[in-house]
Amino acid sequence: TCADLIAHNVVPETVQGDLLTPGAIARLFASGPVRAVVHCAGIVPTQIPWDQDPNWEARFARTMAVNVRLPIELGHAGIAHMAGNGGGRLILIGSLAGWHGGTLTTTPPDYVTSKGGLHALVRLLARKAAPGGVLVNGVAPGPVVTPFSANIDFPRENFPLGRMATAEEIAWPIAFLCTKGASNFCGEIVNVNGGVFFA
């Protein structure tokens, strides 16, 4: 995690940007050799039920652009870049919703569909990338404690551990997939949901 890097005198660098902006992905990889890429962006449109949203089509397009199109384009560029630099790791963040439709009956269908598609994308890219020394895997978290989830009433009886995950509990498996210890993981979707669902 960031705290561990700082403890070992490594200074993390933060660069902000919108990867949907034309040319942004190319600029990302032009900055120097990249060994691991983690796509952790995602949107969950929950303000209005989808069937009552007058902007449903635009909302669906935006959700798919961020949650599916961007990983396709980022993955394509990242695989080519890392294969040309001795290999690397690509980690895409899916969701429990991509397996079983969501923890709540109100989970938006555009989000569920996008994360199910992302899980399939992990496997497609894994087969393509492996011969070039790039290992592609995914992580599928369940509900995580964030400012966003604080406004959602998740039924606690659905959580065998009695609580939601912390962001750091999701970060550790992601970090592991970027290490030599995960050198035989290829096309896997690692579930990190505290026993809510078993694939």
Which residues belong to the active site?
111
* Extended strands (E) in 80-166: 88-93, 134-141
Give the containing element (helix H, strand E) for 190: strand 189-192
Cα four-point dihedral sign 172, 111, 71, 191:
positive
Q: Tell me the DSSP string of 167-178.
A: HHHHHHHHHHHT
Instruction: Count Cα neighbours of 62 within 13 Å in the Cβ-side half-sphere.
Output: 8
Q: Counting Cβ atoms within 10 Å, is residue 154 exposed (0-12), middle (13-18) or buried (19+)? A: middle
Distance from C-alpha of 49 to C-alpha of 41, rounded to nearest angstrom = 22
